[in-house]
Amino acid sequence: MLNGTYGKLPVRAVAVDTGGHHTKMAYEFCRTRLARRIWAIKGRGGTGIPVWPRRRTRTNTGKIPLFIVGVDAVKDAVYARLKLTEPGPGVIHFPRRLDAGYFRQLTAERVVTRFEKGRPIRSWQPKRDGERNEAFDAFVYAHAALHGLISMGMRLNEEVEGMAEQVQVETERAPHRRIIRSTWLSS
pLDDT tens digit sequence for 23-54: 889 988 998 898 899 999 999 988 888 888 88
| pTM of structure | 0.75
> What is the residue range of 113's domain?
2-186
Instruction: Report the pLDDT value the prediction gives residue 142, as an integer from 0 to 100.
Output: 92
**Is residue 77 within 8 Å of residue 143, measured between CB atoms?**
yes
Instruction: Report the pLDDT value the prediction gives residue 175, as an integer from 0 to 100.
Output: 67
Q: How many domains would you assign to the chain?
A: 1
